Amino acid sequence: MRRHPDDAAWSLRPMEPADLGELVDLQRRGAVLGLAEVFPQETHPFPADAIREQWVAELRDESVAASVVTGPEGRLLGFAARREDELLHFGTAPETWGSGLAAWLHDALLATFPPEVRRVRLWVFAGNGRGRRFYEKLGWTVTGEERCTSFPPHPVLVEYERHR
C-alpha cells in the first residue's frame, strides 16, 4: 500500500448507519464541487434523500462492504463500498483532495477484495475528468462499456477495470 506522511492519522473502518448524515454531506460537497459539469446544481441539485436511501439499502445488503475513513478527530474524510468484483462508491472530502488520502483509500479498498477476485471494475461519469485521471493514474483502463445513470440528467457512465 502507498505510504503518505498523514496515513497514520487516517483510519479505515466499516460504515455504520450513524455515519449516514455526515457521509451524505461529505458526498454532496464532493459532488457539487467535482461533478458540476455532470450535474449542474441549478437544474439538477444533489439528490440527498435518494442518496441516503441508496446507502440505507446498501448497508442492509450483506453482499455490500461499505467503509469510511476517519481522521484523528474521528471526522469522516472519505468513503468506499464494494460488492463482488465491483467498486460501487468512492470519494473523499474536498478539503483532502491532493493530500494522498484518495490513493491511500484506493489501495486499502483493493486489499479488501478476496484474493480470487483477479479483475476489479468500476463505473465513473464520462464527464468526470478528475476522477478518470485519478483511476487511470492508478492503473485502471477503460473497457469500452457504457451506460446511463438513473439520476437526471442521466449522464453516461464509463466502465473501467483493473487486474490484480
pLDDT tens digit string along 66-82?
999 999 889 999 999 99
Q: What is the mean pLDDT of each run of 10 residues along the chain (164 residues)?
A: 60 97 97 94 95 97 97 95 98 96 96 96 97 98 97 96 96
Query: What CATH number is given for 7-117 in this structure?
Result: 3.40.630.30
pTM for this predicted structure = 0.92
pLDDT tens digit string along 17-44?
999 999 999 999 999 999 999 999 999 9
| N- to C-terminal Cα separation, the chain | 13
Q: Which of 69, 37, 39 is nearest to 51 (CA)?
A: 39
